[in-house]
Amino acid sequence: MSDPLLSVEGLRTRIPTEEGVVRAVDGVSFEIDRGETVALVGESGSGKTVTCETITRLVPETATVTGEVRFDGETLTDLEENALRRIRGNRIAHVFQNPRSALDPVYSVGDQIAEAITLHRDVQEREARERTVALLGRVGIPNPGERVDDHPHEFSGGQCQRVAIAIAIACEPALLLADEPTTSVDVTVQARLLALLSELTEGGMSTLLVTHDLRVVATLADRVVVMFEGQTVERGPTEAVFGRPAHPYTQALVESAAGVGEGADRGEVPTDGCRFRHECPHAIDACAGERPAFEPVGSPGHAAACVHYAPERDPSVVLAESEPAWTVSRER
Ligand code: SF4
């Protein structure tokens, strides 16, 4: 079996603030295979976006990053800023949450897409423009030859997100980091953007999808990584994690699938042991000890970090439902 395209191991991101140091990412590990879509899910503030930004070091300069990120044979966490700049927007591209703020209002969308091409490819202006028009057509902008010289304010929110996706895929990246790519658009536009992202992944691109919307995950993702308070607590194939969520936090997340957008006001969260223990209905004394290790929970590749799955567990405690909690129907 070939190495994964992306491997994140023990990633930690500490960000100093006026209120103290925030442990935004606190020991996150996962992999993405070539051509695979992996979704990072969890409430707002769970560390999904900072994890995504840490991969290509788009975090504040004051942040401290430890752990390892490997991408296509290179250790990104060892690279200098200049070397990372050659990778960002080229082999790894980002799509951000708010497309209007990601686009420059002063320049035409065509100029912004062409700049993404010429920054990393040795092409003449004319060829860059031809590619730009083709990209606008590929992401579904009607009359791309005419719209190429329009400015962002002349596009709808959904079209701006399509332009942002065109910029991201301009250099045919191996990995797309898509942070809430459908959050700021209405339901109809969301469906079209999901179809577009699905089509792009079928072309062989890998995607890390960051979202709090489990229905988007069910549509697009091959595998899911669940985050709680900066830590990963469950991972596995989408059907397994949503059908039989194993970690008590994932179970709560799936049960309230329609309303997980905002992070709960949960007061002080423990910094040691299992961070979910103040809210967990299954907490026992052991949950305050070592941080629980990931243990297999059934289907191949499905694992959860909870003491009740440890080898020495009490067999009378059963956390996972025998009936599927959620049926995932994928339209890919
Ligand atoms: S380790 Fe303990 S507190 Fe954490 S999810 Fe499992 S049972 Fe609940």
Q: Using the 8-state DSSP alphabet, how is residue 21 labeled?
A: E
How many other C-beta atoms are found inside a 10 Å radius of the C-beta of residue 183? 16
pLDDT above 70 coverage of the chain, percent? 93
For residue 58, give Cα distances in angstroms to 53, 54, 78, 167, 279: 5, 6, 15, 17, 32
| 263 has a pLDDT exceeding 60 | no
Task: For residue 258, name the pLDDT band (cuts at 50, 70, 90).
Answer: very low
Q: Closest Cα to atom 3, ligand 1: which residue?
A: 277
Is the pLDDT at 184 greater than 90? The verdict is: no
Average pLDDT value for residue range 222-245: 95
Instruction: Write the Ramachandran bin of 132: left for phi over 0, alpha for psi from -120 to 50, otherwise beta.
Output: alpha
Report the alpha-carbon distance of residue 225 to residue 37 in Å, rounded. Answer: 11
Instruction: Identify the pLDDT of residue 36.
Output: 94
Tokens of 62: 């004051």
- Ligand 1 centroid vs 274 CA: distance in angstroms? 6
Predicted model pTM:
0.90
Which CATH architecture fits 33-59+177-332? 3-Layer(aba) Sandwich (3.40)
**What are the residue ranges of helices labelled H in 121-262?**
125-138, 144-147, 157-169, 187-202, 214-220, 238-243, 248-255
Q: Which of 51-60, 230-239, 268-277 has the lowest mean pLDDT?
A: 268-277
Please say if the pLDDT value at position 61 is more than 50: yes
C-alpha to C-alpha distances, 183 to 28, 161, 225, nearest whole angstrom: 24, 10, 19
135-181 pLDDT per residue, tens: 999 888 999 999 999 999 999 988 998 999 999 999 999 999 999 88
Q: Which residue among 231, 253, 284, 287 has the greatest number of ligand 1 atoms within 8 angstroms of its CB, and so is best to mutate?
A: 287
Instruction: Determine the 3-state secondary structure of 315 from DSSP.
Output: coil
pLDDT at position 111: 97
Residues 6+ apart with CB under 8 A from 110: 129, 132, 133, 136, 148, 149
Ligand 1 pocket, residue 308 CB under 6 Å = yes
User: Average pLDDT of 258-269?
Assistant: 58
Q: Is 233 in the pocket of ligand 1 (CB under 6 A)?
A: no
Q: For the chain, where are the E strands, in sequence order?
A: 6-17, 20-32, 37-41, 64-71, 74-75, 92-95, 175-179, 206-210, 223-228, 231-237, 294-296, 303-305
Check if 63 has its Cβ closer than 6 Å to any atom of ligand 1: no
What is the C-alpha separation between 115 and 55, in angstroms, rounded? 23
Alpha-carbon distance 208 to 213, whole Å?
Answer: 14
Average pLDDT, the chain: 89
Break the chain into its structural domains and give their ranges: 33-59+177-332, 92-172
